[in-house]
């Protein structure tokens, strides 16, 4: 029996776990970071919580006799990705990153592309008045100092008590989001700017389509660097990689 650890938390990770459950000879464990209060539970065996850095993850890989490691975390979860690559290298097992392609700007998009959350906040003064902020609850403090801008802040769970947040309204919801839903939100709250991470995928892309249709500007945070290990962009290719390892 070949054992694979899937670092999850994304729709792709859940789909991969479901696919692996149908393959004879492979046993998968999905690990969730536990940052949301009610995470979507994947099919099959899973665990919740961190590992304690590279050393902790390497120890877990050895203890659980993991043969393969697949990193299917969020494209902006950079720390765990680099830790995963380092731990897999230390233990000497194959590593694969499953990361969906980023969204691509089209001619009718009004994107301001930046390389960090801090740069996204710096781009807003004198350009925005009512902002749809969709970067997650852990990034709110970067916008808290901005005056004269109202924020609609969407996230899965509310921020922790005493968290520094900008002025505006908190909206707790979980994707995928329909295009009609996004159009209604933008109109209802008179939004003129969206701030988004370039997460890729379909679950939250409707807001980008709606912004395009309504000629709204989007401050788009580009993806950070990733480890140098092997990467695929879809579940099919990840399954093919697993099957090749299984039969090699």
DSSP for 72-118 reads ---TT-HHHHHHHHHHHHHHT--EEEE-PPPP---TT-EEEEESSHH
Select from 57, 55, 49 the least CA-distant residue to 31.
49
Dist CA 122 CA 45 (whole Å): 43
Percent of the chain with pLDDT over 70: 96
Binned at pLDDT 50, 70 and 90, residue 42 comes out as low
Same domain, 41 and 118: no
Same domain, 161 and 126: yes
Same domain, 217 and 126: yes
Select from 6, 5, 22 the least CA-distant residue to 14.
6
pLDDT at 46: 77
Same domain, 115 and 214: yes
pLDDT at 171: 96
pLDDT digit string (tens) for 11-32? 899 999 999 999 999 999 999 8
Biggest distance spanned by C-alpha atoms of the chain = 61
Dist CA 243 CA 248 (whole Å): 8
pLDDT at 47: 81
Range of 11's domain?
2-100+225-247
Same domain, 116 and 135: yes
Binned at pLDDT 50, 70 and 90, residue 3 comes out as very high
Is 128 inside any structural domain? yes
Is 43 inside any structural domain? yes
**Distance, CA of 209 to chain centre:** 19
Dist CA 172 CA 154 (whole Å): 6
Dist CA 86 CA 26 (whole Å): 23
pLDDT digit string (tens) for 119-176? 999 999 999 999 999 999 999 999 999 999 999 999 998 998 888 999 999 999 988 9
Is 31 inside any structural domain? yes
Which pair of tokens denotes residue 232? 């695929």
Global pTM value: 0.88
Total domains, the chain: 2
Binned at pLDDT 50, 70 and 90, residue 39 comes out as low
Q: Output helix, strand, coil percentages for the chain, rounded to the nearest 5.
A: 30, 25, 45
Same domain, 123 and 186: yes
CATH code for the domain of 16: 3.40.50.720
Is 105 inside any structural domain? no
Select from 37, 54, 59 the least CA-distant residue to 155.
37
Same domain, 205 and 138: yes
């Amino acid at each position: 029996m070949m054992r694979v650890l899937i670092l999850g938390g994304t729709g792709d990770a859940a789909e991969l776990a479901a696919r692996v459950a149908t393959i004879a000879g492979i046993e998968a464990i999905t690990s969730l970071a536990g940052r949301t209060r009610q995470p979507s539970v994947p099919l099959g065996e899973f665990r919740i919580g961190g590992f304690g850095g590279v050393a902790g993850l390497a120890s877990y890989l050895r203890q659980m006799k993991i043969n393969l490691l697949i990193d299917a975390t969020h494209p902006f979860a950079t720390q765990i990705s680099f830790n995963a690559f380092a731990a897999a290298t230390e233990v000497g097992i194959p590593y694969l990153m499953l990361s969906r392609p980023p969204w691509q700007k089209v001619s009718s998009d009004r994107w301001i592309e930046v390389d960090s959350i801090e740069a996204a906040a710096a781009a807003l003064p004198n350009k925005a008045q009512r902002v749809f902020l969709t970067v997650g609850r852990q990034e709110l403090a970067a916008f808290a100092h901005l005056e004269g801008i109202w924020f609609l802040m969407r996230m899965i769970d509310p921020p922790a008590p005493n968290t520094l947040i900008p002025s505006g309204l908190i909206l707790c919801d979980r994707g995928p989001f329909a295009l009609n839903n996004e159009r209604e939100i933008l109109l209802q709250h008179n939004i003129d700017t969206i701030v988004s991470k370039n997460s890729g995928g379909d679950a939250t892309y409707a807001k980008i389509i709606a912004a395009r249709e309504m000629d709204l500007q989007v401050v788009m945070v580009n993806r950070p660097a990733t480890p140098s290990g092997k990467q695929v962009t879809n579940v099919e290719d990840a399954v093919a990689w697993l099957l090749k390892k299984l039969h090699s």
